Amino acid sequence: GAVVSQHPSWVICKSGTSVKIECRSLDFQATTMFWYRQFPKQSLMLMATSNEGSKATYEQGVEKDKFLINHASLTLSTLTVTSAHPEDSSFYICSATTGNYGYTFGSGTRLTVV
Amino acid sequence: GESVGLHLPTLSVQEGDNSIINCAYSNSASDYFIWYKQESGKGPQFIIDIRSNMDKRQGQRVTVLLNKTVKHLSLQIAATQPGDSAVYFCAPQSNKFYFGSGTKLNVKP
């Protein structure tokens, strides 16, 4: 079945630094990838939708300059948290789809900003 | 975004009993629905899906029921096991997936 690999699974970074999270579709070409954020005991909150070769569409309230998304190929999307602060600490999850129904999720990245 | 709500935030069941998790949605244009299971610290895992031209679909130990008239979904888990303990989300598809708050299923031994 479709597999989405997300890396790293966890990262600790210092406040003010930037962190890049990768999301790869391993055995299919993903026309669209989604990025979610999840705080403890809460649901997944959609941050942005990215289509290969075009700019990401951000959900209301998500800062595009802070959460940079690049979807340079049909198998890779990256989320860069710029100038991270402790309040950005969260569980970040990507998902990918070919567009023909069916979404596969990555295993998530636990970001801790200290 | 999509309004998705779950009727019960937490459900506790005895091991071996059947579980029923409910989900309401608001977008009548949704034509595809997926149930996901999320274990602590992991990404969501696909459980079962259903298209709007169906009202019931069965998998292994799981059944999803869809009532489009009242915009309601349910997930039934037969003979619930400790490994079923997780948070369950329903996700109606429009052009993207919005998740509701989820229902936490606790299975008591």
pLDDT at B7: 43
The residue among A28, A21, A27, A25 whose CA lies nearest residue A48 is A21
pLDDT at A27: 86
Is A93 in the B-facing interface, judged by CB distances under 8 Å?
yes
Picking from A21, A36, A103 by the largest number of B CB atoms within 10 A of its own CB, the best residue to mutate is: A103
Check pLDDT > 90 for residue A37: yes
Spatial distance between the Cα atoms of B83 and B13, rounded to a whole number of angstroms: 12
The residue among A54, A60, A59 whose CA lies nearest residue A77 is A54
Residue A82, number of CB atoms within 10 A of its CB: 15
Phi, psi dihedrals of residue B84, rounded to the nearest 5°? -85, -10
> Residue A96, SS3?
strand
The residue among A106, A111, A4 whose CA lies nearest residue A66 is A111
For residue A4, give the chain B residue with the closest CA: B43
Which residues in chain A (12-51) have CB-CB distances under 8 A to chain B?
34, 36, 42-46, 49
Residues of chain B with C-beta less than 8 angstroms from the C-beta of A101: 32, 49, 93
Mean pLDDT of A103-113: 93
pLDDT in tens, A62-87: 999 999 999 888 899 999 999 999 99
DSSP letter for A27, please. S
Residues of chain A with pLDDT > 90, as a percent, come to 70
For residue A32, give the chain B residue with the closest CA: B96
Residues of chain A with C-beta less than 8 angstroms from the C-beta of B46: 102-104
pLDDT tens, residue order, chain B (109 aa)? 444 544 448 999 999 999 999 998 888 888 889 899 999 889 999 899 999 999 999 999 999 999 999 999 999 999 999 999 999 998 887 656 777 778 999 999 9
Q: Find the CB nearest A46 among B43, B44, B96.
A: B96
pLDDT at A100: 64
